[in-house]
Structure 1
Amino acid sequence: MECITWFAPILPGKLEEWKALDAEMAGARADDHKRSRERMGITREVASLMQTPQGDFVCLFHEAEDLAKAFGTLATSDDPYDVWFREQLVKLHGLTSEMLQGPPPAQLTFDYKAG
Structure 2
Amino acid sequence: MALFAIAIPIAPGKMAHFENFIEQLNGDKKAEFLASRKKLGVRERTFHQHTPMGEIVIVTLEGDNPAAAFAKFGEGTDAFSTWFRSEVKNIHGVDLAAPPPGPMPHILLDTEG
- Could you say whether these structures have the same fold, taking a TM-score greater than 0.5 normalized by the shorter chain as the test? yes
Residue 17 of structure 1, CA deviation: 0.6
Render the CA deviation track for 1:20-44: whole Å, top value 9, x for unaligned. Answer: 10111011100010111111111x2
Render the CA deviation track for 1:66-101: whole Å, top value 9, x for unaligned. Answer: 22431233211101101100001110011111107x
Flag structure 2 segments of 5+ consecutive residues without an equivalent: none
* Equivalent residue, structure 2, for 1:20: 20
Shift >2 Å, 4+ stretches = none
Moved more, 64-73 or 76-85: 64-73
Aligned pairs (5 A) from 1:49-60: 49-60=48-59
Question: Among the aligned pairs, what percent are the same residue?
Answer: 25
* Equivalent residue, structure 2, for 1:91: 90
Q: Measure the CA separation in 1 of the matches of 2:6 and 2:111.
A: 17
* Equivalent residue, structure 2, for 1:4: 4
Flag structure 1 segments of 5+ consecutive residues without an equivalent: none
Count of paired positions:
111
Q: Measure the CA separation in 1 of the matches of 2:104 and 2:72.
A: 17
Q: Measure the CA separation in 1 of the matches of 2:73 and 2:62.
A: 14
User: What SS is found at the alignment partner of 2:99?
Assistant: helix
Question: RMSD of the TM alignment (CA)?
Answer: 1.9
